[in-house]
Amino acid sequence: MAVSAWRIEQWPVREQPEELLAELYAARALLHAEATPDDPRLPLADDIAALRHLPGNEDGVVLVARDPAGVIAGFSSCGWEDIPGLNHVLWTDVAVLPDARRHGLGSLLLGESVAVAEHRGLRLMMGRSRANVPSGEAFCRRFGAEQAMVGRENRLDLRAVDRDLVARWVADGPARAPGYRLEFVAGRTPAELMDRVAEVFNVMNTAPRENMDISDVAVTPELVRSTEDARLAVGDQLWAYYAVEQSTGRFVGLTNITIRPGTPDRVHVGDTGVHAAHRGHALGKWLKAAITKRILAELPEVRWVITWNAGSNDAMLGINDQLGFRTAAVSTTWQIATDRLRSGLGTAAGAR
């Protein structure tokens, strides 16, 4: 099919009508079956709720390609974050349905995505591919993108977890880390803890970024609250453990999870880290074991604990491997300067 046969629509991500969201949800079924065939999908209602309650610092547009019959053949989700350290990046997810591939639609959608980045003055474009869908990597390499990070999605099967090991790590925590304790928070962070919670989130700036062209993010109480409120608004449950230095009351480590009602058999780990000055006391093991023990005790329907780690994060991977996490998927983050990608694509598309 000639490139000119495709009709491209652009929708602000927050303003997509429910009819369009239902169409996109149906279209994504084929892509889900290709990339993650063994995983359940979030219900459509959950997808819609998440879009209707995006944090205030996140925004984007969706580019939808239709064939001459008006059927969705592909799309590109373009997102940006108004946060220093990340506010130069357009995250781009180009997807073409199987029957529409090899007709230039991916290139067309990528060119339209570049126009979005140009219009917003974003100098860098990033996207991800999965190892089990090699066409994604080939597409990124074709346009000169560079490999920025290789990550692993790791999963812990709670049906097979070593409960004695979990209990031992929890019991050993106070002995291996004298002068520290753990504090559990469920749901919205209490106001009296917010400053300490925001401060400890900044430890994630020490996590490996490999070659990603991004900078440290200064986590503020306002940023934490905005993110929490967005998740709670869609019905997610939030759990967190914090490692506390007892002499100062300072939060020096954390781990947190999200429990999504639409997929009750799994929880997703958000951030886990310990401040550099407080490492060497097995606080990471204590935190991971404490939240695992709590999941086992209070969420019997959960089978999978799912986390994501940079492939170079040896310290965290070591803890996860000992606990029983196993790699379920490998993904690569790709990046390319917007102007370089434009040069590779040729003539600019219409301003977006």
Predicted confidence (pLDDT) per residue in 48-61, tens digit: 999 999 999 999 99
According to the model, what pLDDT value does residue 49 have?
Answer: 95
Kindly give the pairing relationship between strand 124-130 and strand 89-96. parallel
According to the model, what pLDDT value does residue 346 have?
Answer: 75
- Quickly state the pLDDT bin for 122 (edges 50, 70, 90): very high
pLDDT above 60 for 351: no
- Quickly state the pLDDT bin for 19 (edges 50, 70, 90): very high
Q: Which residue has the higher pLDDT, 351 or 285?
A: 285
> Do 322 and 292 contact (CB within 8 A), yes or no?
no
According to the model, what pLDDT value does residue 313 have?
Answer: 86
The interaxial angle of helices 283-298 and 314-323, nearest 10 deg, is 40
- DSSP H or E segment with residue 339: helix 338-345
Q: How far is CA 9 from the centre of its chain?
A: 26
According to the model, what pLDDT value does residue 145 have?
Answer: 97
So what CATH class is 3-151+333-345?
Answer: alpha beta
Whole-angstrom CA distances from 234 to 43, 108, 260 are: 12, 34, 9
Q: 161-323 has which CATH code?
A: 3.40.630.30
According to the model, what pLDDT value does residue 4 have?
Answer: 64
Intrachain domains 3-151+333-345 and 161-323 with the same fold: yes
> Could you read off the pLDDT of 177-218 as tens digits, one per residue?
999 999 999 999 999 999 999 999 999 999 999 999 999 999
Per-domain residue ranges for the chain? 3-151+333-345, 161-323
> Could you read off the pLDDT of 58-89 as tens digits, one per residue?
999 999 999 999 999 999 999 999 999 999 99
According to the model, what pLDDT value does residue 3 have?
Answer: 58
Helix (H, G, I), strand (E, B) or coil at 77: strand
Mean pLDDT of 285-297: 98
User: Phi, psi at residue 115, to the nearest 5°?
Assistant: -60, -35
* Portion of the chain with pLDDT greater than 70, in percent: 97
Mean pLDDT of 117-134: 97
Mean pLDDT of 256-274: 96
According to the model, what pLDDT value does residue 350 have?
Answer: 41
According to the model, what pLDDT value does residue 315 have?
Answer: 86
According to the model, what pLDDT value does residue 312 have?
Answer: 84
According to the model, what pLDDT value does residue 9 have?
Answer: 97
- Quickly state the pLDDT bin for 314 (edges 50, 70, 90): confident
Mean predicted lDDT score pLDDT of the chain: 95
